Amino acid sequence: MEEKKNKMDSRRKFLLQSGLAAVAIPFTQISCQSSKDKAVEVENEDSFEFAFLTDIHIKPEMNAPKGFQMAIDKVNELNPDFVITGGDLVYDTMRGNYEQSESLFSLYKDMSKGFKMPVYNCIGNHDLFAIYEESPESEDHPDYKYGMWERHFGKTYYSFDHKGWHFITLNSLDVTDNKRYKGFFHLEQLEWLKQDIEKVDKSTPIVITTHIPMICTYSQLNGGEGSRTANNASDVFKIMENHNLKLVLQGHIHWKEYGFVNDRFHFLTGGSIAGNGWKGRRHNTKEGFVKIKVSGNDFSWEYIDHGWEAERLKLAEKTI
């Protein structure tokens, strides 16, 4: 045993004297660093970020194009993989004539080309063409209700995949008999949803985007009639029951709201780019959007101020 120890000591002394130990040490460090790099690389492959912008309400008035451009610039600075919008891109086509409504959608489309990443749009109630009684256009107009949207943006409901996650954008709007909008997922869309998720592995994380909330605490907090949710949201939840629904992204309310339902899924109502129609905060929620970071099967989120409140107050001071 003593003889073996002496041999090891002699071997150590030889390495130190010859400089081989000094050479061997960096090799050990490089090997460890390589393993760390691989771990980071794997994490990066599973990780991504996207931005959720809702209730943009673009219009020529109230300096709205300036405010929207500030949001675009902020998103580009953060450089997410893509953008999802939550409806009410323009204000407003429900009451508008053809020329006015067409100009609003064209303004939004031209400005949204400024995003340096793909944009996936969702339809909102203010994006429905000529549905109100006061609109000069009739129901037989080819762009009525969803028509103008579909001509500019394609289908009002669709899905796409990104880095192992499945994203579904739904149309939560329909029209009542007395020509108002209502929150409702029509039957044709529900059938499409069933077929869409049949192709998705049940372990795949799923994100749903809708303008009218599927679940919301507005009425519980503020009282009043109406739930501020889609009438048949439960039909969607039943379809998703045996799938890995992770998150529901919502708009419409212009406030920030987050919840986790029975350890099943999260919901996030994402504030508003326009706030109170570009006049300030609504429900005390500052104008902004949501940045969502996905890592593997989990996500985190942050509400981002795009700077409009400070800019609006500055512009108001100049006009006094």
Mean pLDDT, range 148-154, rounded to an integer: 98
Proportion of the chain above pLDDT 70, given as a percent: 85
Alpha carbons 94 and 124: distance in angstroms, whole number: 10
43 pLDDT band (50/70/90 cuts)?
A: low
Instruction: Name the DSSP class of 129.
Output: B
Alpha carbons 229 and 217: distance in angstroms, whole number: 9
Count other Cβ atoms within 10 Å, centred on residue 54: 29
Return mean pLDDT, the chain.
88
**pLDDT of 32 strictly over 80:** no
25 pLDDT band (50/70/90 cuts)?
A: very low
Q: Which of 221-230, 250-259, 278-287 has the lowest mean pLDDT?
A: 221-230
Q: Tell me the pTM.
A: 0.86
Mean pLDDT, range 246-252, rounded to an integer: 98
Q: Which one has a higher pLDDT value, 27 or 302?
A: 302
Proportion of the chain above pLDDT 90, given as a percent: 77
